[in-house]
Amino acid sequence: MTLPTDRDVSPFTPPSAITRLRETRPVSPLTFPDGHEGWLVTGYEAVRTLMADTRFSSRLDLDVVHVPYEIPGMPVATEPSPPMPGVFIAMDPPDHGRLRKRLTAAFTVKRMKSLEEHIARIVDRQLDHLATLAPPVDLVAEFALPVPSLVICALLGVPYEDRESFQANSAQFLVREQPLEDKMAALGALTGYLAQLVTRKRAEPSDDILSDLAAHEDLSVEELTGAAFLLLLAGHETTANMLALGTFALLEHPDQLAALRTDPDLMPGAVEELLRYLSIADIFYRYATEDIDLCGETIPRGSTVVVSLLAANHDPLRFDNAGELDVHRNARGHLSFGHGIHQCLGQQLARLEMRAGFDALFRRFPTLAMAVPANEVRLRTDMNIYGVHELPVTWS
Ligand code: HEM
């Protein structure tokens, strides 16, 4: 079978073919559009085991590898190509660790905690702006995208005034099926912009993460640019889609929203549950560098392996009533931020943004409601990060 992406059950449920596969063969062969054979991993245990095993490579340039689909957030490779310098999500040890360790200090829980007030201010200002608009309003454009964009720009030291061009280019870059030259043009525009920016940061540092990174003389401008690209892309597209799709999911589950409104202490747990339930960063790729036994199946060396975090997070063997959104659930152990050495670097930041964002949105807009029927909402099945293209909302 080929990789199904259609949300044929509900906007929040894995494609039914994926669910069936997880039930019958959680590690199963998959035929790619170019005809070569690979593997699809959908069971929770198998996905977790695989992501912890560095014999499954994240690199794009191994000569044993075919790259038939785009890697989320990565340039599509039609033939083996060297990884983009600095883009450590597509690297293996020791290169991966060399770059990642430069950034971990900047993303500690403590550092993120100190950002809390700043994030709350950004959220409040954006909601002040929302309140001046006459509904119906697109929540993506007016709230869900600006908040993480403002936060990541401030953190990295990217001038927010430049957002129109980098937002358009990163959105274009994430389109799933498009001519390679369009994708590369978007990538080129983004990296051209960021190369100038990091060069400036190196010459005139200020108080931000890119300046800190640029102070490491052993990192080249290309590496700094790649790392900046990864952070900027990962830092706003993901959280923006969680805020929008999470709002959609809560509005479609009024009992869950009511529970959350009654008891705001449920918020941290509810955010974990939304992360699990929605799994907006779903599909990831790995490559077997040797023959590897995975939950009873032998994955031959050189295989391209696709993992579905969404399928894993909806596995009833791991989560009771996995298909239900339940804000009371203990969703810890979900795989939405990945697992192993590549586990999301920005997860604490994303959590803070989501807690602050959902909390303030539902407090300030107690009558928030969908402005269109749920089946008219355009889903991002065409994009590498799932979510909604627009979310028309209203209030009274
Ligand atoms: C709700 C929002 C987010 C989700 C669901 C998410 C999800 C993920 C996942 C699944 C991975 C693992 C990829 C892999 O194993 O190949 C990852 C890695 C990463 N994420 Fe996030 N992410 C989110 C927000 C963020 C934010 C806000 C930032 C940055 C500020 C960020 C930066 C990164 C980076 C740099 C990596 C690569 C880490 C590495 O390779 O060592 N993410 N993310």
Neighbour-count burial of 311, counting CB atoms closer than 10 A to its CB (0-12 exposed, 13-18 middle, 19+ buried): buried
pLDDT of residue 376: 97
Burial degree of 106 (CB within 10 A; 0-12, 13-18, 19+):
middle
Whole-angstrom distance, CA of residue 381 vs CA of residue 90: 23
% of the chain with per-residue pLDDT over 70: 93
Q: Is the pLDDT of residue 74 over 70?
A: no
| pLDDT band per the 50, 70, 90 thresholds, residue 375 | very high
CA distance 90 to 77: 12
d(C-alpha 235, C-alpha 221), whole Å: 20
Largest CA distance in the chain: 60
Distances (CA, A) of 276 to 13, 108, 117: 11, 22, 26
User: Ligand 1: which atom is nearest the Cα of residue 349?
Assistant: 27
Is pLDDT above 80 for 123? yes
304 vs 32: CA distance, rounded Å: 9
What is the model's pLDDT at position 35? 72
Q: Which atom of ligand 1 is nearest to the CA of 91?
A: 40
pLDDT single digits (tens) 38-58: 899 999 999 999 999 999 999
pLDDT at 2: 67
Q: Say if residue 94 is preceded by a cis peptide, omega within 30 of 0.
A: yes
Could you give the 3-state DSSP secondary structure of residue 77?
coil
The secondary structure of residue 289, as a DSSP letter, is S
Q: Give the pLDDT of residue 1.
A: 64
**108 or 242, which is more confident?**
242
Distance CA 230, CA 194 (A): 11
- Alpha-carbon distance 98 to 340, whole Å? 16
* Residue whose CB lies within 8 A of the most ligand 1 atoms, among 238, 275, 341, 380, for a mutation test: 238
Relative to the CA of 242, which ligand 1 atom is closest? 1
pTM, two decimal places = 0.93
Answer whether residue 31 shows pLDDT above 90. Answer: no
Name residues contacting ligand 1 (CB within 6 A): 58, 88-89, 100, 152, 230-231, 234-235, 238-239, 242, 280-281, 284, 336-338, 342, 344-346, 349-350
pLDDT value at residue 79: 45
Using one digit for the tens of pLDDT, what is the confidence trace for 161-171?
A: 888 888 888 88
CA-closest residue to ligand 1 atom 21: 344
pLDDT score recorded for residue 256 = 98
pLDDT given at position 82: 61
Ligand 1 pocket check: which of 158, 337, 339 to mutate, most ligand atoms within 8 Å of Cβ? 337
Q: Mean pLDDT over residues 88-114, rounded?
A: 88
Summary mean pLDDT of the chain: 90
Residue 131: pLDDT band (50, 70, 90) is very high
Angstrom distance (rounded) from CA 198 to CA 207: 13
CA 9 to chain centre: 22
> What is the rounded average pLDDT of the residues 347-373?
97
Instruction: Please state the atom number of ligand 1 nearest to the C-alpha of residue 351.
Output: 1
- Dihedral sign (CA 205, 211, 217, 219): negative
**Confidence band of 264 (pLDDT split at 50, 70, 90):** very high
CA 309 to centroid of ligand 1, rounded, Å: 13
Q: Whose CA is nearest to atom 15 of ligand 1?
A: 342
Q: What is the DSSP letter of 240?
A: H
Lowest mean pLDDT among 4-18, 325-339, 353-367: 4-18
What is the average per-residue pLDDT within 146-162?
91
